[in-house]
Amino acid sequence: MLLLFKDLIALVEAALNRAFPEAADAAVQAGRPLDPQLAPASRPEFGDFQANGALALAKPLRQAPRQIAAAIVAELEADAAFAALCLPPEIAGPGFINLTLRPEVLAEEVSRRLADPRLGVPAVAADAPPVVVDFSSPNIAKEMHVGHLRSTIIGDALARVLEFRGHPVRRLNHVGDWGTQFGMLITHLREVAPEALRAADAVDLGDLVAFYRQAKARFDSDEAFQAASREEVVKLQGGDPVSLKAWGLLCDQSRREFQRIYDRLDIRLAERGESFYNPFLEAVVEDLAAAGLLVEDQGAQCVFLVGEDGQPSPAPPVIVRKSDGGFNYATTDLAAIRYRFAPAPQGDGARRLIYVTDAGQASHFAGVFQVARRAGWVPEGGRLEHVPFGLVQGEDGRKLKTRAGDTVRLKDLLDEAVERAEADLRRRLAEEGRQEDEAFVTQVATTVGLAAVKYADLSTNRITNYQFSFDRMLALQGNTAPYLLYAVVRIAGIARRGGADAGDITGPLVFTEPQEWALVRQLLQFDRVILEVEEELLPNRLCGYLFELSQVFNRFYDQVPVLKAEEPARASRLALCRLTADTLKLGLGLLGIPTLERM
């Protein structure tokens, strides 16, 4: 209802200004125009919108709130444009103004949505600057595990919403492909598996992970190995051809394994690892020094943080260069911010940077963001946003691990989801006596299994931890992917029974039942929800909306005849079915979840 809201707020603001012209002029001169505080109604019985500003205006206008509300209502009732949009306004309580859109206005908006592939969601300006979404970010020589699940799925959903709005989105995978871990691994492999440094895929990724663990244990306990590893890092950073070849082989092998996961989840990412920013690290130090921000502390070069009041912060400083002359993650992240905001062709020319990582990195990003702002790298209107998320826990409330106590591999988790979905599907087919070919079983099981994993994550407020339960996420009831997918399948069945022209409208839509109007109003909230997700970066808002839409639709279909209704009710109700299906498909698509025609 964004367009209707825009029209309505202009009418209510004009009525307020006409009712209190002197106060309105004074408020404009003071830079604080009178605000009617128009918002969606908190409950259906209050109409579609409420103007709550009379209470806040009581003191400056020196009148009782109901008296102010009455003056505004009088102006609205005299306005022909308002009368064409809304039913007569009502004053409630101490001075709230309840506003209800005319039925014919709502019906016309539904007709517009039926003809609009964007379902009423506006697109941003064609020249909108790029938005960077930094997500997933696994480490080379390690397998993707359940800890990467949330970043990957949340980041993809946010990127999809931003792309749908029309933003040019750079989906960046900031993989850990540089630094001390490579010195450790190359040094260890040179002793135990030198062939891995000379030929591609000489060892599989699982063995590479085991070698990495061995290297880390040696690094932590053996000073000679530690020194050799650091020397290897220096050689790598200095461009030694043998070290670079070994590094490239390890990166390529991991990259192929990562891509198999991304392909399976339908995730698009452009890799731009830590190594990409290596040439820009010296410039970071030079810029910070020129800005007077660098301070030497125990041989390291740091930036000390400040609080909101400008006083020194108790938080640890951001170390930009270590005492041994090396750089760290903070330096790389600062170089990334500097590059991403820099205008093309020197950088990405972005104006919004979104980082999707676990909540444990919140203090790191708070410090890095502050340094970037103080260094002057954030352009006017530029936004730096950390999108934190909680842990994936087992049903016992503890961190999700295998029975052996190891971190769950993401590949294994996805395999099990599909296997469980297939077993459930075969059981239901047997109970119903249905015969389906293996291609159908594979397609449905794969779609439902992967959708269940994605939706279970996205439907939870990302800031909190969530408990991973296959039984709960694969259930056909409740706020789950199977429930929503089944709603789409149910509507597809209605459309098939309704005929080839089901949902096609040649005349005006006619709605008479409360269940119809409830569904109409829910459908027309889609544009608002998408803009909320774009701004607040909370995919669970979209999940909650789609779940509620499915519930409202099911009540409508269970209580109001559709296929057996007389015209024009039949065509109008089939149109509502079609718009519901279109909204569910589009909304699920923005979450990275494909739909099915049959289950």
- The answer as to whether 485 is a domain residue is no
Beta-bridge mates of residue 393: 399, 467
**Domain final residue pick, 74, 101, 128:** 101
- The answer as to whether 534 is a domain residue is no
Q: Is the pLDDT of residue 249 over 90?
A: no
- The answer as to whether 445 is a domain residue is no
User: Which residue bears the tokens 């006596």?
Assistant: 433
- The answer as to whether 16 is a domain residue is yes
In one letter, which amino acid is 181? Q
Assess whether 277 and 256 both reside in one domain: no
- The answer as to whether 201 is a domain residue is yes
Burial of 127 per CB tally in 10 Å (0-12, 13-18, 19+): exposed
Assess whether 247 and 283 both reside in one domain: no
Average pLDDT over residues 180-188: 85
Task: Provide the CB-side half-sphere exposure for 203 (13 A, CA).
Answer: 19
Q: Residues 562-581: pLDDT tens digits? A: 999 998 899 999 999 999 99
Assess whether 257 and 285 both reside in one domain: no
pLDDT of residue 466: 86
Handedness of CA 262, 267, 268, 271 (dihedral sign): negative
Assess whether 49 and 66 both reside in one domain: yes
Assess whether 16 and 95 both reside in one domain: yes
- Split into its structural domains, the chain has a count of 3
**Domain final residue pick, 360, 389, 418:** 389
Average pLDDT over residues 387-395: 89
Instruction: Give me the chain's average pLDDT, please.
Output: 91
pLDDT of residue 557: 95
Assess whether 220 and 280 both reside in one domain: no
Q: Which residues lie closer than 8 Å to 137 by C-beta, 6 or more apart?
A: 148, 151, 173, 174, 175, 176, 357
Give the C-alpha separation, 382 to 130, whole Å.
11
pLDDT of residue 508: 87
Q: Is the pLDDT of residue 7 over 90?
A: yes
Average pLDDT over residues 422-436: 92
CATH of the domain at 383: 3.40.50.620
Assess whether 278 and 380 both reside in one domain: yes
Helix (H) or strand (E) holding 590: helix 569-590
Closest residue by Cα to residue 327 from 470, 204, 517, 179: 179
Which region holds residue 67: left if phi is over 0, alpha if psi is between -120 and 50, else beta? alpha
Q: Is the pLDDT of residue 301 over 90?
A: yes
- The answer as to whether 421 is a domain residue is no
Assess whether 7 and 44 both reside in one domain: yes
Q: Residues 313-353: pLDDT tens digits? A: 999 999 999 887 878 889 999 999 999 999 999 999 999 99
CATH of the domain at 23: 3.30.1360.70
Number of other residues whose CB lies within 10 A of the CB of residue 598: 12
pLDDT of residue 303: 95
Assess whether 353 and 286 both reside in one domain: yes
Q: Is the pLDDT of residue 146 over 90?
A: no
Helix (H) or strand (E) holding 412: helix 410-432
Assess whether 239 and 287 both reside in one domain: no
- The answer as to whether 589 is a domain residue is no
- The answer as to whether 508 is a domain residue is no
DSSP state of 399: B
Assess whether 281 and 358 both reside in one domain: yes
Residues of the domain holding 74? 2-101
Percent of the chain with pLDDT over 70: 98
**Domain final residue pick, 267, 287, 304:** 267
Average pLDDT over residues 435-444: 94
Assess whether 282 and 384 both reside in one domain: yes
